[in-house]
């Protein structure tokens, strides 16, 4: 399955009861946007709101951490999303959080998940219909099948760093090099020993991911060997998924995401932080 779907392709499937559309917009740190209010004002017909903040592990103070399989399954079932559905994820503007929702659903065992190429803006540009107000679906059954090989925790990350594995950081170059502050208070900026940097914004043009050949060139220029395993990281595990999604589009297959990302790493007593 192509991980991207065009607005025209999605339109042709909207009447399919097994097609579920999810608005997975998340406001970035410091933003005053209200994604749910914007969803209520205008969304793709039949779309449900996939609340990344709500669908997180609240047993930790780290942002956006994966919930337990049981909690995720309960939330998806209540929302009306089954693990066998054909799921299409989008966001309202640009490329920021939809890949995190895509990765989360895939990690919990949903096999058929795509991202709407260009998101809601591409849908609107094509003059396709929208609706407003809340949407409800009948309760479904989501059977979680957690893939532990998709996610890395701090001890695993430490092992990877010792092995000189490929760690790719999605944060800005200034944050990576320690010359700009982190948006979350009391966290130093800088980077992990041996990590490489490719700001996720470099993968995006005109509100969508760049073509596969351009992505391959970007990853190669950043020092990534697409034939070797890659672990992605960022500030809180959200834009790391943009890199991971882009890597898949570019042809890489052995991919993991460090869920705690810099929010965990930078405050861990065993972490080594470099600046340059």
Q: How many CA atoms does the CB half-sphere of 11 hold within 13 Å? A: 12
* Alpha carbons 1 and 128: distance in angstroms, whole number: 24
237: left (phi over 0), alpha (psi -120 to 50) or beta: left
* Alpha carbons 276 and 259: distance in angstroms, whole number: 25
Query: How many C-beta neighbours within 10 Å does residue 159 have?
Result: 11
What does DSSP assign to residue 155?
A: H
Say whether 234 is catalytic. yes
127: burial class by Cβ within 10 Å (0-12, 13-18, 19+)? exposed
3-state SS, residue 27: coil
Considering the candidates 5, 101, 234, 271, report the single residue annotated as catalytic. Answer: 234
* Alpha carbons 226 and 41: distance in angstroms, whole number: 41
Nearest to 146 by CA among 55, 81, 83: 83
Q: Which residues are catalytic?
A: 234
């Amino acid at each position: 399955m192509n991980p991207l779907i065009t607005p025209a392709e999605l339109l042709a499937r909207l009447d399919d009861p097994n097609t579920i559309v999810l608005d997975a917009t998340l406001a970035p740190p410091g933003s005053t946007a209200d994604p749910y209010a914007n969803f209520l004002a205008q969304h793709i017909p039949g779309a449900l709101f996939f609340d990344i903040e709500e669908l997180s592990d609240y047993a930790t103070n780290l942002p956006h951490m994966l919930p337990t399989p049981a909690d995720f399954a309960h939330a998806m079932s209540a929302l009306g999303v089954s693990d066998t559905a054909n799921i299409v994820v989008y966001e309202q503007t640009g490329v920021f959080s939809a890949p995190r929702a895509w990765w989360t659903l895939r990690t919990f065992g949903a096999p058929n998940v795509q991202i709407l190429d260009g998101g809601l803006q591409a849908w609107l540009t094509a003059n396709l219909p929208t609706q407003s107000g809340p949407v409800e679906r009948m309760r479904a059954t989501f059977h979680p099948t957690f893939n532990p090989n998709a996610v890395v925790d701090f001890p695993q990350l430490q092992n990877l760093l010792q092995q000189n594995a490929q760690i790719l950081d999605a944060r800005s170059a200034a944050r990576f090099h320690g010359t700009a502050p982190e948006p979350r208070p009391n966290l130093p900026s800088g980077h992990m020993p041996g990590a490489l940097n490719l700001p996720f914004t470099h993968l995006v043009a005109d509100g969508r991911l760049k073509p596969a050949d351009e992505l391959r060139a970007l990853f190669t220029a950043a020092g990534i060997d697409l034939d070797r395993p890659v672990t992605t990281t960022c500030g809180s595990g959200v834009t790391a998924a943009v890199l991971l999604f882009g890597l898949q589009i570019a042809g890489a297959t052995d991919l993991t995401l460090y869920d705690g990302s810099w929010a965990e790493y930078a405050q861990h007593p065993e972490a080594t932080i470099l600046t340059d």
